[in-house]
A and B are shown apart, each in its own frame.
Chain A
């Protein structure tokens, strides 16, 4: 008998089992470990790099979290003086630009058929260089400032190519710059610190949303209003504006002034200040007085459609405040005399003593100032005249943002060669002859110098994923091909050269060089040439003033490419994924339209169609449309990405779901290209006619009512109550009985456990900005579901911000087409309440799950075992806070197309179709902190675990930690007996989240 030993037997068994396993199973996917492990990478351990956010000019510092060589999350750099560790939703989402499926994967050249065709860098650059060589003197470069080094390279290249450079930014704040220059003689954008003022008069700046540095200002503002440090309630703000915007909702008083009256109000207030305080030191009192003449409290009030007494009271409060600050109008209210308005505001600030205190004017930056509309018009003229042979467009999308009667799009036809450096597919790049795709900012080197004392570095955190080249390198090469004197080496070498004065490695490690620079005080020089009060001019003759306001997330339209920014509900209106026309209920009634009815808006420059959002928080004579939608290119920006799921289920999608179909309307195309007195672009200068079309297109509205029905969900506390004088704790009516059971959330964990995780959310600090929602989505691999699904309210957000107006009443709730309707003109009682899973101690969801897929863990968390979930959805029905989300489709696979899958956080399971999910208190972060603690034989320290929402929150509204640790920050934060409450406490679910009621800062309250 032949030998058949144990080894042979095992071999045969192994072969058999292997064959059986491979024969009938899913295709094998191999996990290949590193053959040579890169030095810096340990699989499973995140590596962090400091960088700078390139999403907006504020230039916040970043910490980029990378795993196995790819960036997966952006967080604020705590060392960075601007954002101090925090990051807004736009910054968070900008990470996606690296992974979006509609990035150009290689250079493209327009072929004979007029379509862009793939090419190689050698061919494309050679061809472009040849064309530029032929177009010397007739080449123009158009695009945003890209930081000192890149700007230097662009300028050198421009010299080499004999080209003219136009720095272009849609929101260039020309009026702010010119107005500041008129008063102080310094052409720069002033820096505000709202926290240093005790009274802010906001003339529509919307600084918390579309201001110059929203993350920073939000922090300053909420610090200035912290009721723990300021017993009086801190900074007060009075806001003017025709519609309720994000900043208005954070104010203490809203005066619904007519759009276009900002100038009159600014001049009237400045005049009142002049009378009370006298002309600023060193200024020509006569010139100041002459400049400020023309408006008065009475005439301003009448042109603003408000009560004279109200405006007089504001002026009175302003001159009596210790430390007041007046904020000039923002983009939405940049009217025909915007520069004069800003000058009046700056003058008032100077007289009030705000300058050098809550307002500083930095010296003019070395960076080229963005072109104003007059300069852009000159470019368009040149293009039309055939004087532009080659146009190089970088970091901007003028075909989208300069659409309309400026004629840029038409003029582009007359340009011989259009070269785009766009990384993502957009309208401009698609209209170009050559696309030389740039890296994303996660792949590039770069720097920013947003203000004196802040030099911030951008460093690549991933190898380029596609066949792209950084703009700097492309320009260096083209410049050399043109025979220009370009700097040696790559763009990185140039950058290092520019940073040679500092320790490069240290700067890279910290994210830049940050020094305290005392900004030289400025004096009022007062050159008011050509400025002065003039009533606002409006083009067109419709019945309504058209306010085009920057969308909180989409900004000037660049955010539209990012699905997170599309899907996270706009904080004030709670709308997702599309554009809308805001009008008052009275106006809607008059036009015979309701929520979702499509109207046609006609201005002097064009028409657009969009669905109506009737709301209380807008004047009857005004309609408002967000800027940012209406892209016809891009997977998420246009309707291209829609319609994947069951078109026949949701009715015919018509033209939707196809490339080239715009998502919503581009309001910029309907704005006349008019200039203010200093040549800046006017955003508020159009009357519009509105006509019913008879069609209906439902908008994705994430919250159908802002009526909390006296349920005390979002409570308030008055200052008197905080001081302990109030009889009614939380301002709620009907729900301020003693709770049925008092409890200590810390007990809701196993007695032998050292931890019970808990959270405190301070509704008074929350301004609704939704940075937490973006952070949560990216940290936890939450899919964005798209408009079709969002209309069906299937968004997957684990944390949402609910907005309520007042205590509510028992009316409403019966309509099938619901719309939030409790806002009232001139009234403010807006309450935001962030709503993550409450991690109840006695959770209704746990008891009803038949499979124990959701269960109570030893540390008090409501765990969710995705693998065990069969999808009965009973838990979601029984969740009283409605924080559970269900995977109706295979979102986990389908909604991360292309490279987006690389952005997923490997520490968090991607959920399968048919399972339930919800906030986990970032349990992966808790576990991440547990291991090192275990290694060191200690407990997790306070502050070692930060949830993603807490980490991102610009105003530090969220505290998280161990409730069993008496010394922890979260326990300290909860210790506010006069305004802490648990949501729906009467149900005895024993939530681990303690809310701190919003504070109403009305001095008269509580005295009645």
Chain B
């Protein structure tokens, strides 16, 4: 692998401009001023959220029947989308925590965006198990809290594990994100005026960039990375157990945890690419988000895509090899049953298309990557759709077989979830630097001191 840190640092350290202020100026630039395209985008996102909110009020008031559930399919697009968003979040944690621990310096340019993506994806995902409840107002039943009647939750239920896994994941991600932001908030504070100044001052927690502060900061990042690393594996494993722990043919498989984690990282990276390419283009951050970053992410995508392909193949093989007719029918009908389109979309988008990344030129061809990652995201959504819907529609009692058809309400909430995510991301772009300034500077200094000899 080419020595990447040097290349980036070299360009950052071009001698004709004051280095530190350049990074500050470039990266803080997007937060300055407001342009009408931005408002248009934000307005569209907010409208999208509003319509979904109204639809959800309607659903809560009238009943879940407005969604497309048909016996025997009791889970639908809401759970599909939940797993999708949880998966999206994984790339962020992987980039910020695991790659940090492995000292993969190239991550510094993308980790802020990826962390933000994690936080917003998790808060999007967390909405779905809630809004799919038959009685949302009884949500607190799922939380173990002391009460007079000594009612307790069922610790045997994977859904309860979910509650813990997601809340842990959300809190660690938010803390990690915030701690990493503090030095950059301080930079913003130093440049801001008026109300903004007050807000940034509060958020910066008195950051002065002193030695002890830096020491504490880097230690906490290190420790949080250590904490977050197992989460990358655990959260999606737990989510996969929602399925694997059940007795439904097509769900009840030991491969689910690694399969889901690989899929999550795969989908997450695709989403990071899908977001960073426009960000880089619009905010002219080509200096910081280089082809090199995209090439590395492409390699990750290729790798995890292959794992997914292996998992798909393994599922089919085991279903056949088990000799259990329930499993065999379930998988046969996955590929050739009423939902064959979803299945073949999934295989094509997730396994076949990414194989093009073996071609080096395509790994740095951003329009191609943009398109590919869009299809990967679609494919990953279909993957969950296939797992959940087809399995449920073809279970043990063949007389109870049925279909599920997505309803307009679910489509509107699905669209709303993307708007909700975009809304947070757009707000984030205006408020915080999308690239970790201090970490980029760290790279510069590193490059200057070591002169690329590292």
Contacts and interface: CB of A to CB of B under 8 A. Distances in A.
Nearest to B154: A852
B325 A818 contact: no
Interface in B97-148: 129, 132-135, 138-139, 141-142
B409 A870 contact: no
Contact of A705 (B71, B392, B401): B401
B398 A713 contact: yes
A709 B75 contact: no
A890 B66 CA distance: 12
B154 A815 contact: no
Contact of B134 (A649, A789, A915, A987): A915
B133 A870 contact: yes
Contacts of B154: 847, 849-852
Contact of A849 (B157, B247, B326, B403): B157
A869 B245 CA distance: 20
B138 A987 contact: no
Interface in B57-75: 62-66, 69-72, 74-75
B401 A871 contact: no
B58 to A, nearest CB: 9
Interface in B139-174: 139, 141-142, 151-154, 156-160, 163
B296 interface: no
Contact of B163 (A850, A869, A885): A850
A888 interface: yes
Interface string B387-422: 000001011111111110001110000000000000
A890 to B, nearest CB: 6
B234 interface: no
A847 B425 CA distance: 39
B398 A813 contact: yes
Contacts of B438: none
Given A844-B246, A987-B247, A852 B408 contact: no
A804 interface: yes
Interface string A798-839: 000011100010100111101000000000000000010000
Nearest to B67: A888
Given A814-B336, A848-B157, A876 B72 contact: yes
A852 B152 contact: yes
B348 interface: no
5 contacts: A794-B69, A814-B333, A851-B141, A880-B247, A886-B69
A645 B65 contact: yes
A704 B402 contact: yes
B201 interface: no
A609 B166 CA distance: 54
Interface in B319-349: 325-326, 329, 333, 336-338, 340
Interface string A845-877: 001111111000000000000001111111011
A710 interface: yes
Interface of A: 645-646, 648-649, 703-711, 713, 734, 789, 792-795, 802-804, 808, 810, 813-816, 818, 835, 844, 847-853, 868-874, 876-878, 880-882, 885-890, 912-916, 984, 987
Nearest to A868: B141
A885 B71 CA distance: 8
Nearest to A574: B399
Given A707-B398, A870-B138, A877 B69 contact: no
A873 B134 contact: yes
A882 B135 contact: no
A885 to B, nearest CB: 8
Given A646-B62, A844-B246, A886-B64, 5 more contacts: A649-B408, A711-B325, A850-B153, A850-B159, A850-B163
B452 to A, nearest CB: 55
B142 A877 contact: no
A734 B133 contact: no
Nearest to A791: B70
A802 B141 CA distance: 35
A816 B133 CA distance: 28
A853 B409 CA distance: 28
A844 B69 contact: no
B233 interface: no
A886 B397 contact: no
B135 A889 contact: no
A814 B159 contact: no
Given A703-B399, A704-B401, A878 B248 contact: yes
Given A870-B138, A874-B159, A713 B151 contact: no
A653 to B, nearest CB: 15
Contacts of B135: 869-871, 912-915
A709 B141 CA distance: 40
Nearest to A865: B151
Nearest to B405: A792
A198 B134 CA distance: 55
Nearest to A713: B397
A816 B389 CA distance: 14
Interface in B188-235: none
A913 B134 contact: yes
B205 to A, nearest CB: 37
A709 B326 CA distance: 9
B373 to A, nearest CB: 31
A705 B399 contact: yes
A794 B67 CA distance: 12
List 5 tightest A-B contacts by C-beta distance, closest first: A871-B134, A914-B134, A888-B65, A882-B400, A889-B63
B160 A882 contact: no
Interface string B65-94: 110011110110000000000000000000
Contacts of B157: 847-850, 874
Nearest to A875: B74
Contact of A889 (B62, B70, B337): B62
Given A814-B336, A814-B338, A877-B75, A649 B158 contact: no
B54 to A, nearest CB: 14
Contact of A734 (B325, B329, B398): B325
A986 to B, nearest CB: 9
A375 B241 CA distance: 73
Given A646-B66, A789-B65, A887 B134 contact: yes
B255 to A, nearest CB: 19
A68 B103 CA distance: 77
Nearest to B249: A880
Contacts of A707: 398
Contacts of B64: 871, 886, 888, 914
A882 B152 contact: no
Nearest to B324: A986
Nearest to B247: A844
A106 to B, nearest CB: 34
A657 B172 CA distance: 53
B399 A706 contact: yes
Contact of A708 (B338, B399, B409): B399
Given A886-B69, A914-B135, A816 B338 contact: yes
A853 B160 CA distance: 13
B142 A914 contact: no
A850 B129 CA distance: 12
A648 B409 CA distance: 10
A575 B197 CA distance: 69
Nearest to A912: B135
A705 B396 CA distance: 13
A326 B69 CA distance: 49
A794 B400 contact: no
Contacts of A890: 62-63
B142 to A, nearest CB: 5
A812 to B, nearest CB: 9
A704 to B, nearest CB: 6
Contacts of B156: 847-848
A705 B398 contact: yes
Contacts of A844: 246-247
Contacts of A803: 399
Contact of A870 (B69, B139, B245): B139
Contacts of B139: 870
A882 B333 contact: no
